[in-house]
Protein backbone atom coordinates (compact mmCIF):
# COMPACT_ATOMS: atom_id res chain seq x y z
CA UNK A 1 0.00 0.00 0.00
CA UNK A 2 0.95 3.61 -0.44
CA UNK A 3 0.19 6.11 2.32
CA UNK A 4 0.57 9.84 1.76
CA UNK A 5 0.36 11.83 4.95
CA UNK A 6 0.92 15.27 6.35
CA UNK A 7 1.23 15.91 10.05
CA UNK A 8 1.61 19.28 11.78
CA UNK A 9 1.42 20.61 15.32
CA UNK A 10 -0.78 23.44 16.48
CA UNK A 11 -1.39 25.21 19.75
CA UNK A 12 1.48 25.95 22.06
CA UNK A 13 5.05 25.28 20.95
CA UNK A 14 7.56 22.72 22.21
CA UNK A 15 7.02 21.72 25.79
CA UNK A 16 4.32 24.36 26.31
CA UNK A 17 6.28 27.37 24.97
CA UNK A 18 4.76 29.71 22.42
CA UNK A 19 6.02 29.43 18.82
CA UNK A 20 6.23 33.09 17.70
CA UNK A 21 7.22 32.42 14.06
CA UNK A 22 4.57 29.66 13.69
CA UNK A 23 7.14 27.51 11.89
CA UNK A 24 6.65 23.77 11.85
CA UNK A 25 9.90 22.73 10.17
CA UNK A 26 11.42 21.24 13.33
CA UNK A 27 8.30 19.18 13.95
CA UNK A 28 8.16 18.03 10.34
CA UNK A 29 11.85 17.13 10.49
CA UNK A 30 11.15 14.93 13.52
CA UNK A 31 8.41 13.12 11.57
CA UNK A 32 10.48 12.72 8.41
CA UNK A 33 13.40 11.39 10.46
CA UNK A 34 11.15 8.59 11.74
CA UNK A 35 9.97 7.85 8.20
CA UNK A 36 13.51 7.64 6.84
CA UNK A 37 14.73 5.51 9.73
CA UNK A 38 11.84 3.07 9.17
CA UNK A 39 13.47 1.62 6.08
CA UNK A 40 10.22 1.82 4.11
CA UNK A 41 10.42 3.28 0.59
CA UNK A 42 9.48 6.95 0.97
CA UNK A 43 9.37 10.32 -0.72
CA UNK A 44 8.82 13.73 0.84
CA UNK A 45 7.68 16.81 -1.05
CA UNK A 46 6.49 20.23 0.09
CA UNK A 47 3.03 18.96 1.02
CA UNK A 48 3.16 15.25 1.90
CA UNK A 49 5.36 12.32 2.78
CA UNK A 50 4.50 9.09 0.98
CA UNK A 51 5.54 5.68 2.26
CA UNK A 52 5.09 2.20 0.83
CA UNK A 53 4.70 -1.02 2.77
CA UNK A 54 2.25 -3.30 4.51
CA UNK A 55 -0.79 -1.91 6.31
CA UNK A 56 0.82 -2.65 9.67
CA UNK A 57 4.21 -1.15 8.80
CA UNK A 58 2.76 2.02 7.26
CA UNK A 59 0.33 2.67 10.11
CA UNK A 60 3.09 2.14 12.68
CA UNK A 61 5.28 4.73 10.95
CA UNK A 62 2.38 7.19 10.71
CA UNK A 63 1.63 6.66 14.41
CA UNK A 64 5.23 7.20 15.46
CA UNK A 65 5.62 10.28 13.23
CA UNK A 66 2.41 11.75 14.64
CA UNK A 67 3.60 11.16 18.20
CA UNK A 68 6.93 12.85 17.39
CA UNK A 69 5.12 15.91 16.07
CA UNK A 70 2.97 15.93 19.21
CA UNK A 71 6.06 17.00 21.14
CA UNK A 72 5.87 20.36 19.29
CA UNK A 73 2.33 21.41 20.10
CA UNK A 74 -0.72 20.82 22.22
CA UNK A 75 -2.61 19.44 19.20
CA UNK A 76 -1.70 17.56 16.03
CA UNK A 77 -3.41 17.64 12.64
CA UNK A 78 -3.03 14.53 10.47
CA UNK A 79 -4.10 14.25 6.83
CA UNK A 80 -3.81 10.76 5.36
CA UNK A 81 -4.59 9.24 1.98
CA UNK A 82 -3.98 5.57 1.18
CA UNK A 83 -3.86 3.50 -2.00
CA UNK A 84 -4.46 -0.07 -0.90
CA UNK A 85 -3.56 -2.50 -3.69
CA UNK A 86 -2.71 -5.96 -2.36
CA UNK A 87 -0.03 -7.88 -4.22
CA UNK A 88 1.65 -4.82 -5.72
CA UNK A 89 5.00 -3.36 -4.71
CA UNK A 90 7.20 -0.70 -6.23
CA UNK A 91 4.25 1.61 -6.78
CA UNK A 92 6.01 4.60 -5.21
CA UNK A 93 7.97 4.89 -8.44
CA UNK A 94 5.87 2.66 -10.71
CA UNK A 95 2.92 5.05 -10.81
CA UNK A 96 5.18 7.92 -11.85
CA UNK A 97 6.93 5.83 -14.49
CA UNK A 98 3.57 4.91 -16.06
CA UNK A 99 2.48 8.55 -16.00
CA UNK A 100 5.69 9.71 -17.69
CA UNK A 101 5.32 7.02 -20.35
CA UNK A 102 1.76 8.16 -21.04
CA UNK A 103 2.90 11.78 -21.32
CA UNK A 104 5.56 10.83 -23.87
CA UNK A 105 2.96 9.27 -26.17
CA UNK A 106 1.32 11.51 -28.72
CA UNK A 107 -2.38 12.19 -28.07
CA UNK A 108 -3.30 10.32 -31.28
CA UNK A 109 -1.80 6.99 -30.15
> Under 8 Å CB-to-CB from 3, ≥6 apart: which residues?
50, 51, 52, 58, 59, 62, 80, 81, 82, 83
Q: Is residue 61 part of a domain?
A: yes
pLDDT digits (tens, 9 = 90+) for 66-93: 999 999 988 999 999 999 999 999 999 9
Domain residues for the domain of 8 are 2-104
At 53 the three-state DSSP class reads coil
In sequence order, the 6+-apart residues with CB closer than 8 A to the CB of 107 are none
Residue 102 has pLDDT above 80, yes or no: yes
- Structural domain count of the chain: 1
In a domain, 56, yes or no: yes
Q: What is the CATH number of the domain that holds 97?
A: 3.30.70.930
pLDDT tens for 32-76 read 999 999 999 999 999 999 999 999 999 999 999 999 999 998 899
With CA atoms as reference, report the closest residue to 5 among 33, 35, 38, 36: 35
Report pTM.
Answer: 0.85
- Between CA 18 and CA 22, with CA 19 as vertex, the angle to 5 degrees is 145
Domain annotation covers residue 90: yes
Amino acid sequence: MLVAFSVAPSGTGPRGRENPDASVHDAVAAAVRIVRESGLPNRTDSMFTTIEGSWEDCMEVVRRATEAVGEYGSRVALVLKADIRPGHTGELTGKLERLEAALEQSPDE
